[in-house]
Structure 1
Amino acid sequence: MGSSSVHVNEATIVTPSEPTPTGVLSLSALDSQLFLRFTIEYLLVYKPHPASDPRATTARLKAALAKALVPYYPLAGRVRASSADPSTGLEVVCRAQGALFIEAVSDLNVHEFDNAPRFVTQWRKLLSFHVADVLKGAPPLVIQLTWLKDGNAALGVGFNHCLCDGIGSAEFLNSFADFASTSQSKFPPNPIWDRHLLNPPPFKPSTDNNNSSSSHPEFNRVPDLCGFMSRFSNERLVPTSFIFDKTSLNELKKIVFSTSRVGESNYTSFEVLSAHIWRSWARALNLPSNQILKLLFSINVRERVKPSLPRGYYGNAFVLGCAQTSVKDLTEKGLGYAAMLVKRAKEQVDGEYIKSVVESVSQEGASPDSVGVLILSQWSRLGLEKVELGGMGKPIHVGPICCDRYCLLLPVFNQTDAVKAMVAVPTTAAHRYEDLLRSFSS
């Protein structure tokens, strides 16, 4: 089964529209983590105004990209291993080398994005330039505008994750969109580099053994008791998506309340939804009861460090929350137990915890394992649904280029209280996973 037909008309390197600083910028210890050396890939789908001219739109977006690369000039640089610390550190060489802009046409139509893709890579060519190794000199930013056969448009965007996190990349896209608008009325925050703020030097190396990576469950290895890794690499993965509206989220909260201990009933929508997805995923996979499972999810630390990071900081400013338990306890103890694990994982992330994570990744090269792990990322809170491109309005679909084994919580067009959960699961578990996701049970 092949990918949908996409034909690239033009690929151009776009450089900043004005002179920008040259030199080498160091990335932070969090930026340089081994597990972030990949490309964040977004897919935003638009319904342009019927009277809009595709050629004019393309020219306007290329010009907007050139303007956005002036304040965000490191995104026009190239990432490489640090000359000072080549084993673990990274840096950006800034010489206005440019970002890649691609224009393409496709036989897809807008309605094909209403549901999950039929297979993991169905939309792969909507970002035709795929970067396999982010340290091999590729542009850290790639944007592809693809005109669909019904006159609508898809915007594929790839960011080198070492340069920015989800919040930072969404701020750039909103700035880019603002430059593409004639009104330029949003005034996104000015981008702030300041990567030194999340480096170990401001912190004294801890003498507390509790702050080593061994005290961080996200970095600890657990035994693979069931061929977990081979199952996910050898079995075909089936993309799934399901929308949880306000009513269903409230229903989940009621179930959590009824299965929680006294005094532990105040849960957020994220905590109950991620618990429900994690339990459904675990039950569908039918794993041995003693297999240890983890739910990893990103926690924004911009306001959790002291002093807080400046507004506009677009580097990686998150650590991984980790809820961990056995298959037996996760599947048998009820939704309230799972939600409690997620809540406690969030609550322990304070300044000292963040400090110890920075030390672990910079001094020990600590990195999360994949055995028994479901990674969940909350794209619904990034602001991607606000990326209003001039003449095309706001995106009617926000999601990944490829639906893979990590779970994404996505915004839903015109439903501010709804969330779409998208994840690919092994074929043998897909039908049961979808059934469990729909049937709310304790």
Structure 2
Amino acid sequence: MALRIKARHAVKPAISTWNGTLPLSQLDQIGVITHTPLIYIYNKPSPNCSSHDEIIEALKESLSRVLVPFYPLAGRLHWIGGGRLELHCNALGVELIEAESSQEIIELGDLFSNFEGFEDLVPHVDYEKPFGEIPVFLVQLTWFRCGGIGLSTNMSHAVTDGLGAFNFIREWANLARGEPLRGSPYLDRQILDDGGKTLVEELPYVDHVSSFPTLPTLIGKADSFEKRTKETIATTLLLTKSQVDKLRKAANREIQHDCDQECPHSRFEAVAAHIWRCTSKARQHRSEQMTALSFYVDSRRRMDPPLPPRYFGNAVVNVIASSQAGELISRSLSHACRKIREATNSVTNEYIRSMIDFLKEQKSLSTYQDRTALGNTKGIFHGNPNLGVASWLNLPVRGLDFGWGEEIYMGPGSHDFNEDGDVMILPGYNNDGSVVVVVLTEEENQIMGGKIKACYVVKPAEPTWTGIQSLSELDQIGVIKHIPTIYFYDNVAIKDWLSPPNKIICTLKDSLSCVLVPFYPLAGRLCGCNAKGVELIEAESCQVGELMSIPLSHASQKIREEDKKVTGDNISSMIEFLEPQSSALFSFHQRNPSKEEKADRRTIRFLSSPSGMHHHRHQSICATEIEKHQTKTCCKVKVNATFNWTI
């Protein structure tokens, strides 16, 4: 992604604010203490909206005003020893970056997949600087080529948790739209530390060493170092409202038989438990393997007295549910939900107060901090056999309008969200009760991937013509690699069709063999029709939900506009141009070229329309000989038999 920084602005509170040192609570200084980025993507504002200059000025002015009640965000953090921090409220301001991107929104694809250039959309935090020089809050406004807008933020997690951060951003948006503040933040962190040393004597004993346990490792492994260095793949899933309702119904199936009138299991409990079980199944854990699910619980309403609703600081505590994998998988979804409920219910007023006192007594808090972004690789690792879940289901993450409409996409922009076992659970894009789940797993343990059961080579059912078949000029431009497609089928429909599954494979093989007779080129190799056959792979996977696509409303219109440009004259002109270039293969968007291809690549420009519509395109000529492709299968089929667990 080509991105140009247009300007950097230091935005300070609009009027003088309190100046001094704000002590941080013990909960502020454990877990993630570095910055947590967010990304909002917006369609092009309507013509009656403000200009670029007016938009950036409105953002600066409203940000300056909202920093008055939220003045800690304009300060700087400083180390004070013992792995502890304090916040200097000095009104040095926040950093607002204005940038331009050469890309259109439609080219971004799935923002969860960490595509190349993803980091450019997020304001960079330079941790090489002295800590006291790093802004607590950074913002970046990116103008896309299509006119769309990207607004990303990066806020220090040591200053506040997710609820505090989203409340601040919404108040900023209110001011940008010309509306008043809906409430002021409660900034006094001492409310968490009230009680002093007497708490240790007055409150029941809680062993908080067990609150920060060493997570289980794989049987036979002494530590998790090898696992945390492996490449991961992000799988983005959408659970529809009906699927979420089905999960909750299954999770609550056993509650009606209890006599203690237990509360129904929540969306989070049902979805997290389902992901936990599915991941353990996909990882093929042994029955005796211990596995843990780590997640955060908001303590605001669990304290006595409760914290003020507008408390601005960290009020979440990390808890762990654990189980043997065999027990987790073999027993019901309700059982897994109960494990999560038990961990949640452990967070009581006594637990929180005694945890705070426990942390006060520690000489250093470094042991309890995640410093991955600071280059420390010895922090908490939630990878195989464990999961670390961050849920935003109860946070006000959707519907952020700064004056040019609500976002079409919202998600984390975290550079730290890249380790095996990281899970994000967010509300669906349309606030329709659906749930978006992002799961990072090792490539071989993909939840939407699977275990290869068998590989077959399927050849035409009867002899077909053999020989060299010349390709047209149009065959050899554009994408010349394989194009994958995928279809999902309901398990009920499959049962109505054929059973058991081995009959499905036999039917697919027989029908594929027959259809390859008239379509014999697909059984060849580039560029010879030799009936060597196609590859059919049978696999098993663990189905969690449906794949999600980002709802970009203008995508179909873009495709239609380009389609109208393809006329008879356009095609004839293109073929005439390409014929002299027969010694090379053309590639518009050939990904991951080899070193040899990169060395032979040269760029040309040509006019593709003789009718006066001069449409310029940059093309890459790759001197890749046809012989290099002769060993590659032209067609590959993969059949996944899904575990659609009875829930």
TM-score, normalization: structure 2? Answer: 0.62
Partner SS for 2:238: strand
Of 410, 432, 437, which residue of structure 1 is paired with 2:426? 410
**Given residue 93 of structure 1, which amino acid in structure 2 is its aligned partner?**
H
Matched, 1:437 2:555: no
Rounded to whole Å, the distance in 1 between the matches of 2:127 and 2:405 is 32
Q: Which residue of 1 aligns with 2:408?
A: 396
Query: Which residue, out of 425, 438, 441, partners 1:422?
Result: 438
> 1:115 deviation in Å?
3.5
- In structure 2, the partner of 1:165 is 161
When Rg is computed on C-alpha atoms for both structures, the one with the higher figure is: 2
2:334 & 2:208 partners in 1: Cα distance? 28
- The aligned counterpart of 1:214 is 209
With over 3 angstroms needed to count, the CA separation of the structure-2 counterparts of 1:408 and 1:118, relative to structure 1, is closer
1:209-241 deviations in whole A, cap 9, x for unaligned? 84122342x434544535573454322211111
Residue pairs, 1:34-433, within 5 angstroms: 35-51=31-47, 52=49, 53-82=51-80, 86-112=81-107, 115-119=110-114, 122-132=117-127, 135-182=131-178, 184-185=179-180, 187-199=181-193, 201-202=195-196, 204-206=198-200, 210-216=205-211, 218-225=212-219, 227=221, 229-258=224-253, 262-263=257-258, 266-364=264-362, 365=365, 367=368, 369-370=380-381, 372-390=385-403, 392-402=404-414, 403-405=417-419, 406-430=422-446, 431-432=448-449
In 2, Cα distance between the equivalents of 1:312 and 1:362? 25
Equivalent position amino acid for 1:68 in 2? V
SS at 1:42 equivalent: strand
**CA offsets per residue over residues 107-142 of structure 1, 9 Å max, x none?**
343345663544466521111413447935310101
**Count of matched residue pairs:** 431
Matches of 2:189 and 2:263, distance apart in 1:
38
Report if aligned partners of 1:120, 1:239 keep a CA contact under 8 Å in 2. Answer: no
Residues of 2 paired with 1:232 and 1:358: CA distance? 32
Structure 2: distance between partners of 1:224 and 1:424 = 17
Q: Is it true that 1:32 corresponds to 2:46 in the alignment? A: no
Letter in 1 for 2:289: Q
Shift in Å, 1:163: 0.2
SS in 1 for 2:53: helix
Q: Percent identity?
A: 24
Q: Is the CA contact (8 Å cut-off) linking 1:5 and 1:107 kept in structure 2?
A: yes
**Other structure's SS at 1:253 match:** helix
Output the CA distance in 2 between the equivalents of 1:138 and 1:352.
36
**Structure 1 residues 170 and 329: alpha-carbon distance in aligned structure 2, compared to 1, 3 A threshold:** same
| Worse overlay, 327-336 or 189-198 | 327-336
Query: Is the Cα contact below 8 Å between 1:284 and 1:436 reproduced in 2?
Result: no
Question: Is the contact made by 2:3 and 2:99 (CA closer than 8 Å) also made in structure 1?
Answer: yes
Quick one: which amino acid aligns to residue 98 of structure 2?
A: E
The residue identity in structure 1 corresponding to 2:381 is S
Q: CA, structure 1 residues 198+419, in 2 after alignment: closer, same or farther (shift >3 Å)?
A: same
Give the CA deviation at 1:259.
6.7
Call closer, same or farther: CA 1:408–1:110 in 2, change over 3 Å: same
Matched residues in 2 for 1:117 and 1:220: separation? 29
| Alpha-carbon distance in 2 for matches of 1:313, 1:131 | 29
Q: Does the 8 Å contact 1:145/1:155 carry over to 2? A: yes
Cα deviations across residues 364-387 of structure 1 (Å, max 9, x unaligned)? 346384254322112232112132
8 Å Cα contact 2:45-2:147 kept in structure 1: no
- Give distance in 2, aligned partners of 1:258 and 1:118: 36
- Unmatched 5+ stretches in structure 2: 370-379, 451-540, 546-642
3-state DSSP of counterpart to 1:167: helix
Q: What is the Cα deviation at residue 174 of structure 1? A: 0.7
Cα 1:74–1:342 change in 2 (3 A) is same
CA shift in 2, pair 1:195/1:325, >3 Å:
same
* Gap runs ≥5 in structure 1: none
TM-superposed deviation, 1:157: 0.6
Structure 1 161/168 Cα, relative in aligned 2: closer, same or farther at 3 Å?
Answer: same
Q: Secondary structure at the match of 2:368?
A: coil
TM superposition shift of 1:310 = 1.5
Distance 1:297 1:146 in 2: 33
Report the alpha carbon displacement of residue 253 of structure 1 after superposing the two structures with TM.
2.2
Residues 210 and 261 from structure 1, CA distance in 2 versus in 1: closer, same or farther, beyond 3 angstroms? farther
Of structures 1 and 2, the one scoring higher in RCO (CA 8 A, sep 6+) is: 1
Letter matched to residue 154 of structure 2: G
Q: Which amino acid counterpart does residue 407 of structure 2 have in structure 1?
A: P
**Could you tell me how far apart the structure 1 residues matched to 2:197 and 2:41 are?**
43
